[in-house]
């Protein structure tokens, strides 16, 4: 099971980095979202995935039982909210840039063969 989670985190991270390095705004937003998912899975897996165990130690228990660490769960919930807010901000920023510049290139300059020919003619 550990190798499956590790592989999933690696694939999400690699795909997120690849999409973040693209020249268009939508793949950049998707890449950052995938990176956020990879970080969330990593944080959640750090809390030792356990099922049916209490989140805190019962002080009245006769013997010490294992418990589920609540800190990674709280970190993941916080990271989900922050990632949602940042994704909404990036989408609004991309729409504003598209409206002002007329294209969705991250630099604001369209790379097309016709623009390079026009620049050489000048």
Q: Where are the domains of the chain?
A: 2-54+67-121
SS (H, E, C) 29-52: HHHHHHHHHHHHHHHHHCCCCCCC
Round to whole Å and give the CA distance between 83 and 38: 12
pLDDT in tens, 27-65: 999 999 999 999 999 988 887 766 776 666 767 766 656
pTM to 2 decimal places = 0.74
Residue at token pair 């944080």: 43
DSSP H or E run through 94: helix 70-101
The 10s digit of each residue's pLDDT in 15-31 is: 999 999 998 889 999 99
Residue 113 reports pLDDT greater than 80: no
| Contact residues for 100 (Cβ-Cβ < 8 A; gap 6+) | none
- State the CATH class of domain 2-54+67-121: mainly alpha
Please state the φ and ψ torsions of residue 66, each to the nearest 5 degrees.
Answer: -70, 155
Mean pLDDT in residue range 2-6: 89
Q: Identify which of 35, 42, 48 has the alpha carbon closest to the alpha carbon of residue 75.
A: 42
Axis crossing angle, helix 70-101 with helix 25-45, rounded to the nearest 10: 180
Please name the residue that has the structure tokens 């356990």. Answer: 50
């Amino acid at each position: 099971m550990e190798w499956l989670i590790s592989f999933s985190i690696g694939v999400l991270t690699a795909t997120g980095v690849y999409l973040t390095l693209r020249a268009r705004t939508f793949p950049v937003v998707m890449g950052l979202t995938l990176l956020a998912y990879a970080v969330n899975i990593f944080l959640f897996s750090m809390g030792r995935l356990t099922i049916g165990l209490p989140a805190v130690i019962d002080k009245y228990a006769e013997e010490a039982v294992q418990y589920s660490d609540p800190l990674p769960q709280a970190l993941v919930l916080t990271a989900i909210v922050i990632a949602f807010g940042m994704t909404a901000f990036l989408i609004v920023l991309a729409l504003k840039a598209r409206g002002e510049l007329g294209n969705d290139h991250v630099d604001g300059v369209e790379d097309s063969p016709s623009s390079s020919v026009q620049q050489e003619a000048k």
